[in-house]
Amino acid sequence: MEKTSQPKDQRAIIVSIDLLRSQQEHLEQFNSNEFIELAKSSGLKVEHHIFSKQNFVAASHFLTKGKADELKHIVESENIKLVVLDCELSPSQERNLEKLLCARVLDRTGL
């Protein structure tokens, strides 16, 4: 029986998002570090960690247009094939991001 899992040492970008609900920066940093360690323990090689503070969730991509464009530039220039967001995406947000980035997208649950 064949196992389907993440390839070992797959290069990835981690995106942590703060929806400005909390002013506790030390807690945000702890949660980000915890998520990065979770990604590494699943066999991912974390190439970049992007932190985004935003006031709202964009319905189509979750990320703001500026942050999505920044992420797209990094994915293209570094030839990254996996982006992992530290949030829960709707199926349509995941599809829209994959289409925009031309890379596989996972949310916290998918990781």
Q: What is the pLDDT of residue 104?
A: 97
Q: What is the pTM of this model?
A: 0.82
Once rounded to an integer, what is the mean pLDDT over residues 19-29? 55
3-state helix/strand/coil string of the chain: CCCCCCCCCEEEEEEEEECCCCCCHHHHHHHHHHHHHHHHHCCEEEEEEEEEECCCCECCCECCHHHHHHHHHHHHHHCCCEEEEECCCCHHHHHHHHHHHCCEEECCCCC
Give the bridge partners for 21, in sequence order. none
Out of 6-10, 14-18, 25-29, pick the least confident. Answer: 25-29
Separation between Cα atoms, residue 106 and residue 98, nearest integer Å: 9
pLDDT, tens digit, 9 for 90 and up, residues 47-70: 999 988 888 888 999 998 999 999
Ordered structural domains, the chain, with CATH: 10-106 (3.40.50.11060)
Most confident among 15-19, 20-24, 86-90 (mean pLDDT) = 86-90
